[in-house]
Amino acid sequence: MQERNGYICLDAGGTSLVLACHLGQRPSLLYWGPRLSLSDPDTMRAMLTRQHAPGSADVEVPGSLINELGSGVAGQPGFSAHRSGEDWASVFAVTTVRRPAPNTVELVCRDENTGVQATHIIHLNPDSQILVCETEIENIGDSPLSIERCSAASLPLDPRATRLFGFTGRWAGEFQLEPIPPFTGSYVRDNRKGRTSHDSFPALICGAAETNEQNGLCFGFHLGWSGNSRVCVDRLSDGRSFVQMGELFFPGEMSLNPGETYRSPCLYAGVSDQGFSALSRLFHSHVQTAILNDRIAQKPRPIHYNTWEAVYFDHDRSTLFELAEKAADVGAERFILDDGWFGGRRGDKAGLGDWWPSPDVYPDGLGPLVEHVTGLGMEFGLWFEPEMVNPDSDLYRAHPDWVLQADGVDQVPFRGQYTLDLSRPEVCDYLFDRLHKVLSEYEISYIKWDMNRDIHHPGSRGRPAGSQQTRALYALIERLRAHHPDLEIESCSSGGGRADYGILRHTDRIWTSDSNDALDRQRIQRGASHFFPLAVMGAHVGPETCHITGRRLSMQLRVATALFGHMGMELDLLQESAADLNILKAGIALHKRHRDLIHTGEFHRLETPDHVNAIGVVSDDQSEALFSWCNLTGHRETLPGRVFFAGLDAAKSYRTRIVWPDPVRSISRPSILEGTGLAGEGLIAPGEALMHLGLQIPLLHPETCLIFHLQKI
């Protein structure tokens, strides 16, 4: 870090950042992009000087780190607040510059006029190169301050980043990258679902016209927040663009009494001049090194067996015992008892809130099942949905007032359940006590923390409390972790409805989607991979006929798809044929052999035609790689194209083998599989040729996924 004439320069790996933080002036980001070795901030400022344009203000209002409304900046304000309609025009000027840690800067800015202090916390992570921005607001006035909006930061967007992608999706179809057509004005995504949501994952990817997966300038932005959010890109008519992300407040929701503070969630931002895959690697490295709990991040991710699609609510002791045996036999290392084990939960309309084993299904408690599972050498995991309550539950009958609601308005029906009001300490105490008791009584290594409804009316005692709800959730999880430090937690919300860096700071895995349809999953996991590493992405082998899409897919394809993630299974093993069980077992063994590479290697998405999805991982020393090439729908031409690998050592040769399906067969014979050695002892070719000449793919049926193993020789 260097400080010069009111500028602070931070560098990390291939990224540089220059902050303008002159005392008495509005702070701004002068530069954030690929590393500059000779940056002289005064020269940079001179290079960026703009001039008066007729019909405009005599002096253009510069952007700041939060584009506060009072500055007169055109476009969406990043900060807007008032005191009953007064004191709305805050303008923040730097009063103090603090440097609490290397690569962290805190800029304390004040507006004495409106009585507001804004502290920007800017951290450029030296390892991951990810920029992390937060803003803290303090009410330094003497009456309550209503905050309408407070972005984590306003970041100017490089004008070359003309291609923008947001995220859309739905239940069982999360993380769909959506190109944003050119616009002037604002692209705004408001999320009022009370969870991260399936449809508005708070993130953006921006690239230059020619950027692709392997080359070019690109930027990524993500808000680490699991509640209501607002994502905004402003393209002003003067040519400047800004990205802003922050919480979305309901009317009057965020009010600070004198002396109180509000801290925004973190905005995570990355830049690369080496394409979208390299950008993802920065985010992955940030998750692995700065977000995940260290102890768990270092541990091999065990193979899961989850009971949901096998038994749903039909819990039966002998079936579960048998399933556990089968699961252990095919290679499971953790058995997770999903929904249906507690209270009166014989279906999805009752029992939530009553967190004790159902006496009618588990008359001796969970002990016998837990002991059976651990006796088979597996860890035991258990499902909870702590924030929810069914009207048909002992909890609701005792405390009907414990739910979030808006006075005088009917609840929007949603899976027969309401959301508990976590802003009430007594609710969190109840939940902590119940979960703590179950976790203390049995040997439980893992919980799946589910959340299955949108929160339409986040009202508590007459006022909106969505922000408090999310903060209380984080605090509740932390309280449990403090008492159960070895516990691993999965964040699930009807699949990937609560997957973000905010919740990942308190959990260890995300349930990526409820769809176990391997073809859907190829796209969902590709989308999620922009921000999430494979190690946290729950990916399960589902049944032959997907329960959600009705599509029938081979075991080979289902295995190949789940292999590139935190692998597991979620199917009725008692109904599977011996042949399919053998394939599953072989696939799990393959995952275990390469688990370390899959979960720690450098990740690549390959550029492919639409009918193909191809991704891969390369070890840090480039000695080994594993790539997956999936023919999703079949090809237009007579033969499939070539695969162009990435990330290899260009100067060294690799032995390339197709290790899945095993055995691999082409549609017609003789095929290139026999001639090249790809399916046998391997094809030896230079890394540069594998990346730039490409390797012809054999003729395959649609819905076939090949896995290539490459070893440097």
Instruction: Decide: is 311 part of the binding site for ligand DGJ (CB under 6 A).
Output: no
Q: Which is nearer to ligand DGJ, 500 or 624 (CB)?
A: 500
Per CB under 6 A, which of residues 528..567 are in contact with ligand DGJ? none
If 0-12 CB within 10 Å is exposed, 13-18 middle and 19+ buried, where does residue 167 land?
Answer: buried
Is the CB of 111 or the CB of 338 nearer to ligand DGJ?
A: 338
Least distance CB 571 / ligand DGJ (angstroms)? 13
- Pairwise CA distance, residues 49 & 149, whole Å: 29
Q: According to the binding rule CB under 6 A, does residue 11 interact with ligand DGJ?
A: no
Q: Binder to ligand DGJ among 494, 516, 600, 608 (CB under 6 A)?
A: 494
Q: Which of 514, 517, 520, 580 is catalytic?
A: 514
Q: Is 68 in the site for ligand DGJ (CB under 6 A)?
A: no
- The correct pick among 266, 311, 492, 534 for binding ligand DGJ (CB under 6 A) is 492
For residues 161 to 190, the per-residue mask of contacts with ligand DGJ, x marking binding by CB under 6 A and - elsewhere, is ------------------------------
**How would you classify the pairing of strands 334-337 and 379-384?**
parallel
Q: In the complex, what is the shortest distance from the CB of residue 207 to ligand DGJ, in angstroms, rounded to a whole number? A: 32
Pick the piece of the chain touching ligand DGJ (CB under 6 A) from 119-127, 153-161, 236-244, 488-496: 488-496
Instruction: Write the interaction track for ligand DGJ spanning residues 598-637; mark x where CB under 6 A is met and - where it is not.
Output: ----------------------------------------
Closest to 708 (Cα-Cα) out of 652, 638, 637, 630: 630
Alpha carbon distance 396, 392 (integer Å): 7
Contact (Cβ atoms closer than 8 angstroms) between residue 242 and residue 156 = yes
Beta carbon of residue 353, minimum distance to ligand DGJ (angstroms, whole number): 14
Which residues on adjacent β-strands are paired with residue 166? Answer: 178
Q: 670 preceded by cis ω (within 30°)? A: yes
- Closest distance between ligand DGJ and the C-beta of residue 678, in Å? 37
Considering the complex, state which of residue 33 and residue 496 has its C-beta at the smaller distance from ligand DGJ: 496
Of the residues 234, 339, 354, 450, only one is catalytic, namely: 450
DSSP class of residue 393?
S
Please give the backbone phi and psi of residue 629, each rounded to the nearest 5 degrees, phi first: -125, 115
Tell me the C-alpha to C-alpha distance, in Å, between residue 64 and each of 100, 192, 378: 22, 27, 54
Q: Where are the beta strands (DSSP E) in 411-465?
A: 418-419, 446-449, 459-460, 463-464
Provide the 3-class DSSP secondary structure of residue 655.
Answer: strand
Smallest distance, ligand DGJ to C-beta of residue 337, A: 10
Nearer to ligand DGJ, 226 or 619 (CB): 226
Residue 450 interacting with ligand DGJ (CB under 6 A): yes
Cis peptide before 661 (omega within 30 of 0): yes
Q: Residues of 127-137 as b/e, b for ≥16 C-beta within 10 angstroms?
A: ebbbbbbbbbb
CB 375 within 8 A of CB 423: no
If the CB atoms of residues 380 and 654 are measured against ligand DGJ, the closer one turns out to be 380
Residue span binding ligand DGJ (CB under 6 A) among the ranges 279-287, 315-323, 353-361, 490-498: 490-498
Which positions from 74 through 103 interact with ligand DGJ, judged by CB under 6 A? none
Asked if 24 and 60 touch (Cβ cutoff 8 Å), the reply is no
Task: Tell me which stretch binds ligand DGJ (CB under 6 A): 8-16, 435-443, 492-500, 669-677.
Answer: 492-500
68 versus 450: smaller Cβ distance to ligand DGJ:
450
* Maximum pairwise Cα distance, the chain: 84
Near ligand DGJ in 269-308, by CB under 6 A: 308
Cβ at position 362, least distance to ligand DGJ in Å: 17
Report which DSSP code applies to 289.
I
Question: At its nearest, how many Å lie between ligand DGJ and the CB of residue 312?
Answer: 8
Q: How many residues bind ligand DGJ (CB under 6 A)?
A: 11
Nearer to ligand DGJ, 283 or 308 (CB): 308
Query: Are 338 and 309 in contact, with CB atoms under 8 Å apart?
Result: no
What gap in Å lies between CA 355 and CA 341, rounded to an integer? Answer: 9
Please identify, among the stretches 198-206, 271-279, 489-497, 678-686, the one whose residues bind ligand DGJ according to the rule CB under 6 A. 489-497
Alpha-carbon torsion angle 265, 566, 296, 356, nearest 10:
80
Report the nearest approach of ligand DGJ to the CB of residue 381 (Å).
Answer: 11
**Contact status, residue 321 vs residue 572, Cβ threshold 8 Å:** no
Tokens describing residue 634: 């079949």
**495 contacts ligand DGJ (rule: CB under 6 A):** yes
- Is 572 catalytic? The answer is no
Measured from the CB atom, the residue of 217 and 382 that comes closer to ligand DGJ is 382
Contact in structure between 692 and 613 (CB atoms under 8 Å)? no
Which range in 157-165, 430-438, 487-495, 669-677 contacts ligand DGJ by CB under 6 A?
A: 487-495
In angstroms, rounded to a whole number, what is the distance separating the alpha carbons of residues 525 and 618?
18
Site string for ligand DGJ, 313-352 (x = CB under 6 A): -------------------------xx-------------
**HEC profile for 457-513?**
CCEECCEECHHHHHHHHHHHHHHHHHHCCCCEEEECECCECCCCHHHHCCCCEEECC
x/- track of binding to ligand DGJ for residues 98-117 (CB under 6 A): --------------------
Q: How far is the CB of 605 from ligand DGJ (least distance, A)?
A: 25
CB of 291 to ligand DGJ, least distance (A): 22
- How many whole angstroms separate alpha carbon 20 and alpha carbon 639? 56
Cα–Cα distance, 418 to 407 (Å, whole number): 15
The DSSP bridge partners found for residue 206 are: 164, 219
Closest distance of CB 570 from ligand DGJ, Å:
8
How far is residue 249's CA from residue 81's CA, in Å, rounded to a whole number? Answer: 12
Q: Which residue in the shown chain puts its C-beta closest to ligand DGJ?
A: 339
Beta carbons of 555 and 541 less than 8 angstroms apart: yes
Q: Of 129 and 390, which has the nearer Cβ to ligand DGJ?
A: 390
Choices 131-139, 207-215, 358-366, 491-499; region in contact with ligand DGJ by CB under 6 A: 491-499
Annotation says 392 is catalytic: no
Q: Of residues 307, 452, 522, 704, which one binds ligand DGJ by CB under 6 A?
A: 452
Q: Kindly state the smallest distance separating residue 450's Cβ from ligand DGJ, in Å.
A: 5
| Among the listed residues 396, 511, 532, 603, the single contact to ligand DGJ using CB under 6 A | 511
Q: Which residues pair with 136 in a beta bridge?
A: 119, 263
Tell the smallest beta-carbon distance from residue 395 to ligand DGJ (Å): 17
Handedness of CA 211, 214, 220, 225 (dihedral sign): positive
Residue closer to ligand DGJ, measured from CB, 331 or 495: 495
Task: Give the separation between CA 651 and CA 664, rounded to whole angstroms.
Answer: 29
CB of 115 or CB of 568, closer to ligand DGJ: 568
Among 383, 384, 418, 660, binds ligand DGJ (CB under 6 A): 383
Cβ proximity to ligand DGJ, 457 vs 540, nearer residue: 540
- Report the alpha-carbon distance of residue 467 to residue 469 in Å, rounded: 5
Catalytic sites, residue numbers: 450, 514
Site for ligand DGJ, rule CB under 6 A: 308, 338-339, 383, 450, 452, 492, 494-495, 511, 514
